[in-house]
Amino acid sequence: MSARTKSRRRALDVLFSADVRGDTIEQALEAESLRAASRPERANSWPYAREIVQGVIDHEDEIDLLITRHSTSWRIERMPAVDRGILRMAVWEARFNDEVPVGVAIDEAVELAKELSTDDSPKFVNGVLNAIVKEPALGS
């Protein structure tokens, strides 16, 4: 598993944890930062995981608006928490991180959905993300 894939898993853990516990993403990020500082064996995957989570925090309103606009099957509040986290992370990578090719962001998100969510989730995640990346970015 690549370092970036591990980082995405860690970022998803933070987003999922915040969601199911009812914490803010900032609170979950801080808690994970403290854990990461005490686990040097995980040092390689933490910087990018932190960047992803901070990116989701910084663009949360726009990310959720995009997901809401392009999810015809589910309101964002009704989605499984893991799907919501995967989508938020992937939208940030595809829309706000120029270092990650859009196709990679989508492929990684679909793989996480296959592994961690329902049987219908990979198709759902793929459809929502493909619709989002086809929409012109604000200010374009």
* Domains, the chain: 3-134 (1.10.940.10)
Round to whole Å and give the CA distance between 1 and 50.
18
On whether the CB atoms of residues 90 and 132 are closer than 8 A, the answer is no
pLDDT the model gives residue 121? 96
Place of tokens 């390689």: 44
pLDDT the model gives residue 44? 79
The backbone torsions φ and ψ at residue 13, rounded to the nearest 5 degrees and listed phi first, read -55, -45
pLDDT the model gives residue 85? 98
Type of residue at 90: A
18-23 long-range contacts, Cβ below 8 Å, gap at least 24?
19/81, 19/84, 19/85, 20/81
Spans in the chain with pLDDT lower than 50? 140
67-72 long-range contacts, Cβ below 8 Å, gap at least 24?
67/91, 67/128, 67/132, 69/135, 70/128, 70/131, 70/132, 70/135, 71/124, 71/128
Type of residue at 128: V
pLDDT the model gives residue 6? 94
On whether the CB atoms of residues 22 and 35 are closer than 8 A, the answer is no
* Whole-structure pTM value: 0.93
pLDDT the model gives residue 74? 83
